[in-house]
Structure 1
Amino acid sequence: MARTGRPVIHIVLSDSERDFLELLCRKRSAPITEVKRAKSILLMAEGLANKAIARRVGFCPATVGTLRSRFDQVRLEGISDLPRSGPPRKIGDDKVEALIAKTLHTKPKGATHWSTRKMAGKMGISHDSVSRIWRAFGLKPHRADSFQISTDPHYVDKVRDVVGLYMSPPENALVLCVDEKSQIQALERSQPVLPMRPGKPEGHTPEYYRHGTTSLFAALDVKSGKVIAKCYPRHRAKEFMAFLINIENHVAAEVCAGKEVHLILDNYATHKSASVMKWLIKRPHWHLHFTPTHASWLNQVERFFALITNEAIRRGNFLSVQKLVAAIQSYLDEHNAQPKPFVWTAGADRILENTANFCKSIV
């Protein structure tokens, strides 16, 4: 006997729809409900039944059936939540438009940015309404991002040079990202650190005693993730020269095996001093690659400096510079015991395209 019942709507996706749904499934910042709907629609296109999709995604079969019908009618618009019912709006489009324009193009008298209460007083609405409108349009007047556009005339060539070393390094070569983290302070808290307890984080007093500074010179091996590092009292050309000799001692075996050494550096004056250039002339297998000015973020060792700052320095309590240096060395030992390289994914074309788009957006 033939089975009767509601006919199943077959879902056929276009290439653009499939690309959108697959991208949504991989997007970490997407709402979980939208991700589950995207996965359900992809499974519908594979021919799975509603019950099978419900088991794999975590919906009930009725929800999957509703989603199938909605997608057949409105396509990708059915991924997002439908407007919910509620009381009539009290704030019209004209007032919303005026509020957005005032937020974007004006500033309150005597202040640098609008607050919800100042804007509410100006517009004659509640500060909660201002907050909801700002959230809807992605406006955050209380926040400000910093930026620095490189003015290096050789910006394009340097980006391609450095990124090329990351994504397609030369054969039989050692690529090292070199820089120094200067003026690391040995700070002792003026009062004891309160330990973390359930429901309460670790407590630090904002007052401290200074016990001197040190400078950390580091060279990150792009391939292995290992770090050659040493602390020096200062960060002059003399110390940088000593650190280069230290690097040479560490990579002597690789150099003897015929490897070329490529150093990625920023444009700090000590990296281009006469003594350094004279030292490099005698070592033709060593090559320097400079990042563009105001683009030190291209140097991967900066990411390592962020890690060691967050995990070993910022919350430390150091009674002397020697204690600080010992803590840094301990972190380095642990890092090098199980090194993990950073994975560089942004190609030179993508970086240059993003830079060009940003420059157009601020003109």
Structure 2
Amino acid sequence: MIRRFVNQPAANGPTISYDEFGPLEIRPQPGQVWCETDHPKRLPATYTRTHGVRHWLAFYDVHKKKLWGYMRPRKRHQEFLEVLKLLRKKYPREQRIHLILDNFSPHRKEKVLQYCRKNNIHLIWTPTNASWLNPIECQFTHVKEFVIRGTDYQSHQELKTFLNKYVRYRNKHTQQK
């Protein structure tokens, strides 16, 4: 059933894939460099997480091949509902949004389900233990490679800035086939 939505544009609306990426911490991340070094750079020890963690709640339009996301301190149903409302604003109300997502418990809260029914959002659940069926999962590999690896961000705001820069660059340079 998911194959039909992924391979064929829906006649009455977009197919959007959703998932959470994180937790994102402010600490040095191991990575690779493209030049020779005489000895490896050591990462400083980080025993405390004074900045806390953040989560990137991300969407991927399967047919337009566009990615976007919102950084939030938590990933409860309240935050999910908040970003769903932002998603709904991106498309005309008469267009039905087909949303592919996993079975994470905040996605199944009654408030969320009611909002989706009232706002023309059709939820498509991936099978349990099959998150790899969600098309957004392969997008996170590039986020890890180009935004997270080999970095030492000083704040969540700096990390958010680089996530947004990556998304703008990626969306601008992605070819539709």
Q: TM-score, normalised by structure 1?
A: 0.44
Q: 1:337 deviation in Å?
A: 1.8
Deviation digits for residues 88-111 of structure 1 (CA, Å, limit 9, x no counterpart): xxxxxxxxxxxxxxxxxxxxxxxx
Aligned to 1:301: 136
Deviation digits for residues 306-344 of structure 1 (CA, Å, limit 9, x no counterpart): 110111112211111221111111111111222346x8x
CA distance in structure 2 between the partners assigned to 1:274 and 1:268 by the alignment: 13
Aligned to 2:122: 287
Deviation digits for residues 175-211 of structure 1 (CA, Å, limit 9, x no counterpart): 000111131111147xxx99753x4499442434344
Residues 79-228 of structure 1 aligned to structure 2 (within 5 Å): 161-188=1-28, 196-197=34-35, 199-200=36-37, 203-209=40-46, 210=49, 211-228=51-68
Check 1:206–1:241 CA distance in 2 against 1; reply closer, same or farther (3 A cut). same
The structure where strand makes up a greater share of residues is 2
Check 1:236–1:194 CA distance in 2 against 1; reply closer, same or farther (3 A cut). closer
2:32–2:150 Cα contact (<8 Å) kept = no
Paired residue type of 2:42: T
Paired residue type of 1:278: Q
The structure where helix makes up a greater share of residues is 1
Residues 253-292 of structure 1 aligned to structure 2 (within 5 Å): 255-256=92-93, 258-283=94-119, 285-292=120-127
Residues 28-107 of structure 1 aligned to structure 2 (within 5 Å): none
1:182–1:235 Cα contact (<8 Å) kept = no
Gaps of 5+ in 2: none
Answer yes or no: is 1:333 the counterpart of 2:173: no
Check 1:326–1:298 CA distance in 2 against 1; reply closer, same or farther (3 A cut). same
Deviation digits for residues 46-88 of structure 1 (CA, Å, limit 9, x no counterpart): xxxxxxxxxxxxxxxxxxxxxxxxxxxxxxxxxxxxxxxxxxx
Paired residue type of 1:323: E
Paired residue type of 2:81: M
**Number of aligned pairs?**
173
1:226–1:340 Cα contact (<8 Å) kept = no
Aligned to 1:241: 81
Answer yes or no: is 1:250 the counterpart of 2:90: yes
Cα RMSD between the aligned structures?
2.4
Answer yes or no: is 1:312 the counterpart of 2:176: no
Q: 1:218 deviation in Å?
A: 0.7
CA distance in structure 2 between the partners assigned to 1:194 and 1:180 by the alignment: 25
1:188–1:319 Cα contact (<8 Å) kept = no
2:58–2:67 Cα contact (<8 Å) kept = yes
Q: Secondary structure at the match of 1:234?
A: coil
CA distance in structure 2 between the partners assigned to 1:265 and 1:235 by the alignment: 14
Q: Secondary structure at the match of 1:316?
A: coil
What is the identity percentage for the equivalent residue pairs of Structure 1 and Structure 2? 26
Larger Rg: 1
1:195–1:201 Cα contact (<8 Å) kept = no
Paired residue type of 1:172: N
Q: Secondary structure at the match of 1:319?
A: coil
Q: Secondary structure at the match of 1:334?
A: helix
Q: TM-score, normalised by structure 2?
A: 0.87
Q: Secondary structure at the match of 2:65?
A: coil
Check 1:203–1:242 CA distance in 2 against 1; reply closer, same or farther (3 A cut). farther
